[in-house]
Amino acid sequence: MSEEIEGTRPATDEATHKEQQEIDDNVISPEKAEEVKLKARYPHLGAKPGGSDLLRKRLQKGQKFFDSGDYNMAKAKVKNKQQLPAVTPAEKAEITGDHIPTPQDIPQRKPSIVASKLAG
């Protein structure tokens, strides 16, 4: 699919020749054009595309982390403050140790007690 476009290549040095080749590629292959777009947005995207990182992420799906030390610290903090720390959606993003959920905040995984709407 990366055919050369006749007559459009500038007659100057190697560097511009290579650039032109790349531009030709992008014009002809939409997939490569998309790749250029992606690399522009995420310059540090792995040199090994679609490889171990993606696969490892896939294999680790479902991993939850619970640190009893943080949990107990948070519990102690609650006692000192004499109130429940409010869990707003903003707080749910990330600082470990500061807002690890108290027993009241941990969502209890319950099975669906409601019947499926397909059966309704």
* Cα 25–Cα 28–Cα 31 angle in degrees, nearest 5: 80
Dist CA 62 CA 42 (whole Å): 26
Select from 75, 101, 97, 76 the least CA-distant residue to 87: 101
Piece of 7-15, 33-41, 72-80, 84-92 that binds other proteins (CB under 8 A): 33-41
Q: Is 110 in the site for other proteins (CB under 8 A)?
A: yes
- The CB-of-95 to other proteins minimum distance in angstroms stands at 19
Nearer to other proteins, 29 or 84 (CB): 29
Distance, CA of 32 to CA of 35 (rounded, Å): 5
Please give the residue ranges that form the binding site for other proteins (CB under 8 A). Answer: 1-2, 29-35, 37-39, 41, 45, 49-52, 54-56, 58-59, 61-66, 109-112, 114-120
